[in-house]
Structure 1
Amino acid sequence: MALRLVQVNFKARDDAALGRFWAEALSWGVSSEGPGVTNLEPEGFVWPDPAGFYIDIVTVPDPETVNYRVHLELATTSAAHQTELVARLKDLGATPADASQDADANQDDVPWTVLADPEGNEFRVLEPREIYRDTGPIAAVVVDCADPRAMARFWDEAMDWTLHEVDDDHATLRSAEGVGPYLEFRRTPDTKTMRSRVHFDLLPYPIDDKETEVARLRTLGATDVDLGQGDVPWTVLADPEGNEFCVLGKG
């Protein structure tokens, strides 16, 4: 098994503008820009550093027609840092999101803040948590799902990341090197009915092993997805709950 999660991919109306927001929000650099595509990377990393985690933003004609199954959660180091970060993000163009839409917002008061970026992608700014002290600015990439145990089984076998915990409501994985954000699956009553605005990109190593890895993923339960991508060097698949992801590489 030789696949790692290297980046999340955002669909956007304006990749350059959304890229500027997230680069400023995370204090990351813009590693490359092309027609309709903006790539972001943390300072000190060059793609595809195995310890790095990246963001890819791609302009598409209809990002608003898809749903929000995946979101980012940002780490903070103190209450003051959380307050400062929320204020700075609002200055950059983030807006308060409807907390009633937050799957965990069944409490009257929660310690995190739910915001939306300039294109409406919701994310959380978390209160300080010990578990996220060394993740960098992104604490976790969170996926809403119906069955965290089943998702954990698939993704634990799909990638070389380490499964840290799993129960009926929640599952957590992280890079085997113990660096970067966590990948978390949280149970929600909602069902997936359309494409997601945010998806994962996986990279095989060596990169020439893409076709072998794609075949292995199909045996684990991944299915092929036709998004009209045509002849591209990556393969689009979906996990057992229909969340699209791409396997990058050659072939």
Structure 2
Amino acid sequence: MHLENLVLDAVEPQRLGRFWEAVVGGTPLTDEPDAYETRLEIADGPVLDLCFQRVPEPPAEPLRLHLDLLGGSRQPEEVERILALGATHLDIGQGDVPWVVLADPEGNPFCVMEERTVYADTGPIAALPLDSSDPARDAEFWGWLTGWTPAPGVAPYSLRHPSRRGPLLELCPEPAAKRGGKNRLHLDVRLDPGDDGNAVAAGILSRGGRELHPAWGDLPWRVFQDPSGNELCVLPAR
């Protein structure tokens, strides 16, 4: 199995997808009325697709997963570049912090980070902070699911692709328990040839996750939650 997609709900997938494509320097993959996809390739590291799927109205639930962008020594210039692409400054009560909080064109918060040695070789996305009710437990869960391994970071537990390149997946103590709504940003894992989907499903359940059965019709993938209630999809092998 491997982590393949970052999936973001969008009222206007093309608008939001093209914004993020310009932000991270992605390569367009899919441009359909209800979906836009762009690919981020990290040299000698992971390949991640950013997928934007249409929803009828803006999500209201707080973000439990967001993007931290690489700023580093060029943080001010990077902030100005992203503002020129359509982002806006955002106050979420962060106070006096060394990172800059912005909102994308649909109001989703993200951060442009200051210089941190743990962000060497991440590419444009420095980290993927994910809310967790038990970071140690969820780090073990996501490490098993993605093949990513523990790495130095600023969160209680961080994982990274075995190449030690690309973003960190940071398991962060949740500020509040998961509410009923679906995460507007979630992760997709792809089965590799030879993986047994039923065995993977059993492994998710045995590690504290659960399978969901949304009324979305006949889907080729399966929908789950991690032990903290964060949604994820398991896609069939190609």
1:3-152 alignment to 2 at 5 Å? 3-42=1-40, 51-78=46-73, 81-100=74-93, 105=94, 108-152=95-139
Q: What's the offset of the Cα at 1:166?
A: 8.8
* Structure 2: gaps spanning 5 or more residues: none
What number of residue pairs does the alignment pair up? 237
Residue range with higher mean Cα deviation, 146-155 or 82-91: 146-155
Give how far 1:114 is off. 0.3
2:144 and 2:205 map into 1 onto residues whose CA distance is 12
Secondary structure of the equivalent of 1:53?
strand
| 1: CA distance, partners of 2:218 / 2:122 | 36
User: How far apart, CA to CA, are the structure 2 residues paired with 1:21 and 1:210?
Assistant: 34
Distance of 1:246 and 1:141 partners within structure 2: 17
Percent identical among aligned pairs is 37
C-alpha deviation, 1:211, in angstroms? 3.2
Structure 1 length-normalised TM: 0.86
The yes-or-no answer on 1:188 pairing with 2:174 is yes
Deviation at 1:43, TM superposition (A): 5.5
Q: Which sections of structure 1, spanning at least 5 residues, go unmatched?
A: none
Q: How much has 1:7 moved relative to structure 2?
A: 1.8
With the length of structure 2 as denominator, give the TM-score of the two structures.
Answer: 0.91
Q: CA deviation at 1:174?
A: 0.5
Q: Which amino acid aligns with 2:83?
A: K
Structure 2 counterpart of 1:192, one-letter code:
K
**Separation in structure 1 between the aligned mates of residue 96 and residue 42 of structure 2, nearest angstrom:** 38
Task: Please state whether the residue corresponding to 2:67 is helix, strand or coil.
Answer: strand
CA deviations on 1:15-37 (whole Å, 9 max, x unpaired) are 00001100111121212212311
RMSD of aligned Cα (Å): 2.3
For 2:12 and 2:194, the matched residues in 1 are separated by 30
Aligned partner of residue 199 in structure 2, secondary structure: helix
Matched residues in 2 for 1:205 and 1:135: separation? 24
Are the equivalent residues in 2 in contact too, given 1:73–1:123 (CA < 8 A)? yes
Aligned-residue offset at 1:50: 7.1
* Cα distance in 1 between the residues matched to 2:64 and 2:76: 26
- Contact 1:69 1:196 survives alignment (8 Å): yes
Q: Is the 8 A contact 1:113 1:125 kept in 2?
A: yes
Query: Which letter maps to 2:165?
Result: V
**Structure 2 residue 210 is the aligned partner of structure 1 residue 223:** yes
Q: CA deviation at 1:220?
A: 1.7
Other structure's SS at 2:188 match = strand
CA contact (8 A) 2:189 2:234 kept: yes
